[in-house]
Amino acid sequence: MSTTFTEENNTEVKYGSLKTLTVLTYIGSALQLIMGFWQYATADKRVADMEKQMASPDFDKMPDFVKKMMSPEALQQAKAMAANNLPLLVLALIGGVLGIMGAMQMRKLKMQGYYIWLLSELVPLIGTFIFVGTSVFSGFGAIGLAFPLLFIILYTLQRKYLINK
């Protein structure tokens, strides 16, 4: 009689939004692995297709936003990505695997999972910056910065739930 029903069930583990974030991390990490292999397999073809489109007589008839995606700077970026194909694949693999590992640890409410996951976000970004340059993060490539930054903020706000060592 001294305890109520709500007091008895108060031992439930609190996750906040960690479960949702980790599921999204699993999906994002799987996409990162798939896109890493896709980029590796199609990099040279992408450069050849871009050069062919830029040399086409119909290039002047294309809309302005398409011309911006096929600018000389975009071609140089595509060439840099093709030239550094293997390191970019390795970075994608490292990022994807560390992301999954970190998310698995955070599902167990372990703080080390946060740091492993944080590495999975930062290593590919820094590596891409080193191998390709900052141009990859301009225009539509800014999405490549927006999602990691958003998730870093969201996971950092959920760190209080990571109570296990």
| Range from 69-73, 133-137, 138-142, 160-164 carrying the lowest mean pLDDT | 138-142
Give domain status of residue 2, yes or no.
no
Q: Supply the pTM of this predicted model.
A: 0.82
d(CA 54, CA 78): 13
Residues 30-89 pLDDT 10s: 999 999 999 999 999 999 998 998 888 888 888 887 777 787 888 888 899 999 999 999
Q: Report CA torsion sign: 133, 138, 141, 145.
A: positive
Per the structure, the complete domain to which residue 80 belongs is given by 16-158
d(CA 41, CA 43): 6
Quote the pLDDT of residue 13: 65
Give domain status of residue 74, yes or no.
yes
d(CA 93, CA 73): 27
d(CA 49, CA 45): 6
How many structural domains is the chain composed of? 1
| Range from 9-13, 62-66, 115-119 carrying the lowest mean pLDDT | 9-13
Give domain status of residue 40, yes or no.
yes
Give domain status of residue 10, yes or no.
no
* Residue 103: pLDDT over 70: yes
d(CA 18, CA 23): 9
